[in-house]
Amino acid sequence: MHNQLCWFRNDLRVRDNPALSSALEAGPTYAIYIATPDQWQLHDDAPIKIDFWRRNLIELKSELQKLDVDLIVFEVASYKQIPELIKKVLQHLSIAQLHYNREYPLNERRRDQLVDSECSKLKISISSFEDLLLGAPQFVLNKSGSPFKVFTPFARKALVEIQNNFNFVNSRIKIEKNLEKPPIPDRLEDRLEIASINWPQAKSQWELHWPSGESAACDRLETFAKNQISTYKEQRDKPSLNATSQLSAYLAAGVISAADCWRAAQKYFDNTGVETWQNELLWREFYRYTVNHFPHVCMHKSYRENTDHIPWRHNKEEFEKWCQGQTGYPLVDAGMRQLLSRGWMHNRVRMVTAMFLSKHLLIDWRWGERWFMQNLIDGDFASNNGGWQWSASTGVDAAPYFRIFNPVTQSKRFDAAGNYIRSYIPELAQLSDSHIHEPGDRRPPNYPSPLVDHKFGRARALNAFKGSNS
């Protein structure tokens, strides 16, 4: 039998991994992971996110060993060095076929094209698989064969594709044990131990809040599906409640599959909470679909080219106050402080904070997009870019430009008792439920006044957007 190579990227799991399954079925299998510290920096990957990769890579190695598959780890600076490294590995290990799960951001696609080219020169077969998405992008098209630009018709068509792909969604991919474990040749002298990679300095609370491994991810999914999904529709927008799945970090790193999440939801298909959560999974799908079909969004560009003319304010002082949770709007500040302390932010609050920066302060949404990526454990380019462009009214199927969340109204509606605010802003903890959303004269001296008046900020944003649309 011929040797196979499974290349792990953002799919750090054994369970439901089509590339790994394909490799093991085809023959004796090696597995590799390639760390790229310079590329991480270029992509603004957060230290907490990279450390999460590290911890899950250790778990992956352990799970692969149970299958008699050795995980070989390398480090190069960036994607530019990967094709040559892959070429050397393929030759040294006498590989007949390379297996990997597809990724859709532009840099990743360009990387894979170069690797595919090297394989072609060496007459080595390539098997690539749909793993990140439930439905392949090339099949979810409108009647004219063009990609969707609006979420709702996309979601309808995607649901049909998922149903047609019944076996993928409703049955787990079988993983066979490596029957002929091949020894690792000594000539692969540049392989590394996981601990030797140039990882960021870890913090103890990261592991406390975000345990690693497939078992942890599956436990979190099962707990959510059994205990929380039934009330998801009613409670998901309340940031003080533990009402969301908090699976985004595991999905972003591929520690759990979208198919597994969909399967878990399907067990409770007659529940309205299930439909709402599946809709969120489809939004995740939509943003990856957008990145695939409209790659200019990967180049620091707005999806809607007319919004390039918006006179964004590049006020570094106001931006820094927003980053540190010092805007004078309690809900906004609580969200930004949650981001700094947890590496994560509740989704409702993500929208409020993003819209505050891009609309109230009229600061370029790309500044905020980058700050989120630099701090989020679940920082995923497609979802982060899509969410920011939605909030800033620059993206595909974005919020209308005149939709501008009032952070005080949002606070009163979704955090009525102020519990979320008190969790992250101790300066305001003593204020009453009615005053904590808008302290006014009751503002303590160690809490800032509002950076901008809501009415003024709204009017300024409307004028700016009207000008870009004229």
Q: Is residue 283 annotated as a catalytic residue, yes or no? A: yes
Are 184 and 191 contacting, i.e. CB atoms less than 8 angstroms apart? Answer: yes
Residue identified by tokens 């570094």 is: 316
Question: Of 288, 204, 278, nearest to 245 (Cα)?
Answer: 278
Question: Of 346, 351, 353, 347, nearest to 324 (Cα)?
Answer: 353
Coil, strand or helix: which one is 329? coil
Six token digits for residue 141: 């098209």
Planar angle of CA 202, 422, 426, nearest 5 degrees: 70
Are 104 and 382 contacting, i.e. CB atoms less than 8 angstroms apart? Answer: yes
Contacting residues for 216 by C-beta, under 8 A, at least 6 apart = 250, 255
Q: Which residues of 277-302 are buried (b: 16+ CB within 10 A; e: fewer)?
A: bbebbbbbbbbbbbbbbebebbeebb
> How many helices and strands (H and E) does the chain possess?
21, 5
CA distance 286 to 244: 20
Q: Is residue 312 annotated as a catalytic residue, yes or no? A: yes
Planar angle of CA 282, 350, 380, nearest 5 degrees: 55
Six token digits for residue 136: 């392949």
Which among 277, 365, 367, 390 is annotated as catalytic?
365
Contacting residues for 73 by C-beta, under 8 A, at least 6 apart = 32, 33, 34, 35, 57, 191, 192, 193, 194, 197
Which among 210, 262, 312, 367 is annotated as catalytic?
312
Six token digits for residue 307: 């919004």
Strands 3-8 and 95-101: parallel
Q: Is residue 390 annotated as a catalytic residue, yes or no? A: no
CA distance 364 to 325: 18
Six token digits for residue 396: 């595909």
Which among 275, 347, 419, 427 is annotated as catalytic?
347
Which among 7, 210, 388, 390 is annotated as catalytic?
388
Q: Is residue 365 annotated as a catalytic residue, yes or no? A: yes
Six token digits for residue 467: 């000008």
CA distance 100 to 269: 32
Coil, strand or helix: which one is 177? coil
Q: Please, what sign has the CA dihedral across residues 212, 213, 218, 219? A: negative
Q: Is 214 left (phi over 0), alpha (psi -120 to 50) or beta?
A: alpha
Q: Please, what sign has the CA dihedral across residues 365, 370, 375, 380? A: positive
Residue identified by tokens 């892959």 is: 86
CA distance 102 to 409: 42
Q: Which residues are catalytic?
A: 280, 283, 312, 347, 365, 388
